[in-house]
Amino acid sequence: MDKLKELRDKMIREMNKIYPEKECFTLVNWLFFSVAGIEKKDFSLDPGRLVEPKTKAELMQKLGELKMNKPIQYITGTAYFHDLELEVAPSVLIPRPETEELVKWVADENKEYSGLRVLDIGTGSGCIILALGRLLKKPQLTGIDISQQALSIASRNAEKYATRVDFRKIDILKEMEWNKLEKFDLIVCNPPYVRLSEKAGMKKNVLDYEPSQALFVPDNDPLLYYRAIAGFSKLKLSQNGKIYIEINENLGKETVLLLKSEGFTEIILKKDLQGKDRMIRCRLI
């Protein structure tokens, strides 16, 4: 049987042909924890521990998936967002750090209010709505998505954290479905916004594994989701209600102009921690 640290070092050497060394350590340590509950400190405290053949076989199988550019989150079935450990699968996007920034912005501006009615459009894994459920005071939570698979995952994540969310299968692009929903005080959304022409600059682990319907929009109408959200919000956003949306960093000005043309005010275009135009807040008065 292989010794713990020796096996890890061997796996890291294999991964180092593909990923930077620091990233290799993170990914391989994550595999060990996911498969066998072995923590980073164990490699120092008990480096000679013997690894069972069954455990090694599972580790090597998952290592092979990593070498095929499959995201670690889909291999382990787990992603982390704020203080949540969420179930994920290729039917939902992997939560991003910039989306955490969006959630923090929503929470910081609305944490003093109680009982806000919050809608998450395109909820995916439920990361946004579940985080807001923990950060806001007694919110009433609703999440919609066009994917039943995504809604099933989001529902299991909500159940794990004993958070009550009304999940519904609704396509925001279909105006005839808007009346299935009530009024909301906050509408939050991370919609598809990557233009098909921008595929060339994206990594294989995203292109090959993450759901394209949650990522891409046509080049000839890249703001179609924002137009739909604006139209929906004019009907379903409460007086003085607010929208918070994540955006394509290259289309910040265009998105602001769209919202202005639809009658929204107090529009703020906010940069993320990388200095990119990443999110917008606006109000309907």
Domain end (from 45, 68, 91): 68
The confidence score (pLDDT) of residue 264 equals 97
Residues 35 and 96 in one domain: no
Evaluate whether residue 225 is within a structural domain.
yes
- Tally of domains within the chain: 2
Where does the chain have alpha helices with state H?
A: 4-15, 21-36, 42-45, 53-67, 72-76, 97-110, 127-135, 148-160, 204-207, 224-236, 252-261
Residues 237 and 161 in one domain: yes
Neighbours of 15 (CB within 10 A): 20
CA gap 128, 96 in Å, rounded = 11
Give the predicted TM-score (pTM) of the model: 0.94
The radius of gyration of the chain from alpha carbons, rounded to an integer in Å, stands at 21
Evaluate whether residue 213 is within a structural domain.
yes
- Answer yes or no: are the C-beta atoms of 237 and 245 closer than 8 Å: no
Residues 231 and 190 in one domain: yes
Residues 14 and 134 in one domain: no
CA gap 135, 138 in Å, rounded = 9
The confidence score (pLDDT) of residue 200 equals 87
Evaluate whether residue 129 is within a structural domain.
yes
The confidence score (pLDDT) of residue 179 equals 95
Evaluate whether residue 206 is within a structural domain.
yes
- Going from the first residue of the chain to its last (285 residues), give the mean pLDDT of each consecutive group of 10, the final group possibly shorter: 93 89 92 94 91 95 94 96 96 96 98 97 98 98 98 98 98 97 98 93 89 94 98 95 97 98 97 96 90
Neighbours of 217 (CB within 10 A): 20
Residues 118 and 158 in one domain: yes
CA gap 209, 89 in Å, rounded = 9
DSSP string, 10-22: HHHHHHTTTS-HH
Residues 36 and 104 in one domain: no
CA gap 280, 71 in Å, rounded = 28
- Answer yes or no: are the C-beta atoms of 248 and 193 closer than 8 Å: yes
CA gap 11, 49 in Å, rounded = 16
Domain end (from 43, 68, 93): 68
Domain end (from 68, 93, 114): 68
3-state SS string over 123-186?
CCCCHHHHHHHHHCECCEEEEEECCHHHHHHHHHHHHHCCCCEEEEECCCCCHHHHHHCCCEEE
The confidence score (pLDDT) of residue 268 equals 98
Tokens of 87: 């179930």
Neighbours of 19 (CB within 10 A): 17
Domain, as residue range, for 52: 2-68
